[in-house]
Amino acid sequence: MFTFQHHTDNAKVLTGVVLPNNTGTSQLTGVVSIHVFAITLISADKPSSVQRPSLYIQNVRSTTKFRILDDKQIQLFEITLNNFAPSTAGVEAWITRDTSMMLASDSLDTVIPGSVRRLRGGDQVRILVGVANKDGVEPGTPISDVQILIDGRPVGKEWDAIAGIPDFYTGDDSLMTHESAEWFDNAKFGLFVHWGIYSVPAWTVSGTQYAEWYWYWQHNPANESSAVWTHHKEVYGEDFLYDDFFPDFTASEFNATDFVQFVVNIGAKYFVITTKHHDGFALFDTWNSSNRNSLLYGPKRNLIGEIVNATKATQPQLHTGLYFSLPEWFNPAFAKNAYNSSEYEPYTGYVEVEDFLQDIMRPQMEALFYQYKTDILWCDIGGPTVFPDIAPRWFNWAKENGRHVIANARCGANYSDFDVKLRKWESSEGSDPYSYGYNHDTPDENYRNASYILHSLVDIVSKNGNYLIDIGPTANGTIVSPSRSSLLKVGEWLRFAGEAIYDTQYWYVTAEEGDLRFTTKPDAFYIISLSYPTNGVLRSMSPLPLKDGDIATFLGPNQSQRELAWSWSENRVFELLVDEEELAMVQDVWAFKIKYT
């Protein structure tokens, strides 16, 4: 169950809310519907004057996010601030100068004040304030006297909060307070990598199935109606088993340092790589839990160890995400031979255990936590899990070491730090539109091009999401040309226009207007156009938070910083005069910065 907030124009009279009376479809569930349990309207009372801002604190939330300042953990509070002056009010009713936000409490000291420089009528902003507990106040202490100070003056009521971040413990009431890290909120763009034994056959009918599910499709169904079953029989023969692909997973062309540099070159701030997919073959040392790994078979290398070490040594600013499949399709050795149902396929490297969860899943997850020090546990499939039992120790250990680690929504728990659709969310898809793992049946021209990837990134970020774009290297570790070239073009754009993406917030009033997308920072507003501005003018009918004197520039490769003229028309249409020569230097997406003055 989630909450969703939507903007309404406070210069108009709300007479009703009409909900859609239709459903969509989903590949998994067949039907998609939204069940609304409650709607709350926050009344924007008519201000007594429209000659000054009408500020209203909508919410104050003590989070489990933190920063490290002078080796001390600083808890972050999130303040939601509205300006209830009408959206049509003049700039005298806006915030147009640096305005400080602090917390006052008998239990807390403000260490990192928040600030807002621009808030027009009918708009909202989310502000982070860093606090530390006063001497004698234990982390996790409930308090009820939090007062917000705007430029030193108290505004609104006193709020309940939790002073300090307590240690996490087993149970939903504790784990559900864990949340997305600030670094993840700000990163926006990550690289997903699907690489394993399935990269050897690397086949299904393009556009129909995931190629990394090769072994599954070979068995489901195990007859002529399965394209993979038929393909395998014709190409490799009935006696050639899935595990016979092990020697051809060589990683012979893979260099961890080059891989990490590629992540940086495409502009990604984090990566997520498969440590173990559903076939149970691990790319890391699984110790006594299994011998089915890349140290003993295939390349005979600890591929995850190499990547983690290369990241730490050469690109320590990157955040590491490790993908982990909760189930293993055919463990322990119960997969009947796809061509002879009386026989069972071997499960190479299987170690006899008493309990899959405690003897395989738990030690492998904990290796990813403590040996490889992952920042993200990116689980897949879900189902029976040990995660809720072992997560508290991991969260606390990371927190004690100044790190905020996170887990996605597929780890089998009743909570997550981020989701695939809602709250702080992340969208993932392949650069091959039909598969995450490499599929040699997909022609190069069918891969997603730079224009598609950039448009997706900008659109997702404008709506508070992160974009995780996937590549499927070949069995020898090569990143195929169409994936490589498109992503490097994305990196080129981010090098000169990335400030409109990284560390931004979504704009509360609207995320989009036609081909325009909007993002914000405390000191600037960004307009990103997905289409070429025609006739030298970019236009917007949205109530942009811009006033006379604000400085507009084009974020282009020559970084000229030349000021662009702009104005409001008589019909309140924003018109920005653009430089055609500078625009011509860029393809696919055009970003503009308007710096508040």
Is 468 in contact with 192 (CB distance < 8 Å)?
Answer: yes
Instruction: Answer whether the bond into residue 332 is a cis peptide, omega within 30°.
Output: yes
Look at residue 51 in the predicted model and tell me its pLDDT. 81
In Å, how far are 5, 16, 38 from 41, measured between CA atoms? 10, 11, 10
- Decide if 55-176 and 186-210+249-500 have a common fold: no
CATH class of 507-595: mainly beta
Is 536 in contact with 548 (CB distance < 8 Å)?
Answer: no
Report residue 36 as tokens. 């609304």
432-469: per-residue pLDDT in tens?
A: 999 999 999 999 999 999 999 999 999 999 999 999 99
- Is 283 exposed, middle or buried (CB count within 10 Å of its CB: 0-12, 13-18, 19+)? buried
Look at residue 15 in the predicted model and tell me its pLDDT. 86
Is 470 in contact with 456 (CB distance < 8 Å)?
Answer: no
**Beta strands 465-471 and 189-193: pairing type?**
parallel
- Spatial CA neighbour of 126 closest among 426, 522, 543, 519: 522
Is 536 in contact with 578 (CB distance < 8 Å)?
Answer: yes
Dihedral sign for Cα atoms in the order 379, 380, 386, 387: positive
Return d(Cα 137, Cα 157) in angstroms, integer. Answer: 22
Is 246 in contact with 347 (CB distance < 8 Å)?
Answer: no
Look at residue 421 in the predicted model and tell me its pLDDT. 40
What single-letter DSSP state applies at residue 140? T
List Cβ<8 Å contacts ≥24 apart for 229-235.
229/338, 231/203, 231/204, 232/201, 232/338, 233/339
Q: Residue ranges of the domains in the chain?
A: 55-176, 186-210+249-500, 507-595
**Beta strands 406-407 and 376-380: pairing type?**
parallel
Return d(Cα 44, Cα 37) in angstroms, integer. Answer: 23
In which residue ranges of the chain is pLDDT below 70? Answer: 1-3, 22-34, 44-49, 333-334, 419-423
- The backbone region for 171, taken as left when phi is positive above 0, alpha when psi lies in -120 to 50, beta otherwise, is left
Look at residue 27 in the predicted model and tell me its pLDDT. 55
Report residue 537 as tokens. 């003018």
Look at residue 333 in the predicted model and tell me its pLDDT. 60
In Å, how far are 193, 477, 533 from 264, measured between CA atoms? 14, 18, 30
H/E stretch holding 568 reads strand 566-568
Report CA 13 to chain centroid distance, whole Å: 36
Pick the CATH number of 186-210+249-500 from 3.30.540.10, 3.40.50.300, 3.30.70.980, 3.20.20.80: 3.20.20.80
CATH class of 55-176: mainly beta
Dihedral sign for Cα atoms in the order 303, 309, 313, 317: positive
- Judged by DSSP in three states, 395 sits in helix
Look at residue 560 in the predicted model and tell me its pLDDT. 85
Look at residue 420 in the predicted model and tell me its pLDDT. 46
Q: Outline where DSSP puts E strands in 362-515.
A: 376-380, 406-407, 425-430, 465-471, 505-506, 512-513
First to last CA, the chain: 41
The 10 Å Cβ neighbour count of residue 146 is 22
Look at residue 92 in the predicted model and tell me its pLDDT. 95
The pTM of this model reads 0.95
- Spatial CA neighbour of 501 closest among 484, 519, 480, 522: 519
Is 191 in contact with 457 (CB distance < 8 Å)?
Answer: no
Give the list of residues 6+ apart from residue 577 with CB closer than 8 angstroms, or none: 536, 537, 564, 565, 566
- The backbone region for 267, taken as left when phi is positive above 0, alpha when psi lies in -120 to 50, beta otherwise, is left
Residues in the chain, how many?
A: 597
Look at residue 422 in the predicted model and tell me its pLDDT. 42
- Is 542 exposed, middle or buried (CB count within 10 Å of its CB: 0-12, 13-18, 19+)? middle
- Judged by DSSP in three states, 299 sits in coil
Report residue 49 as tokens. 């004057």
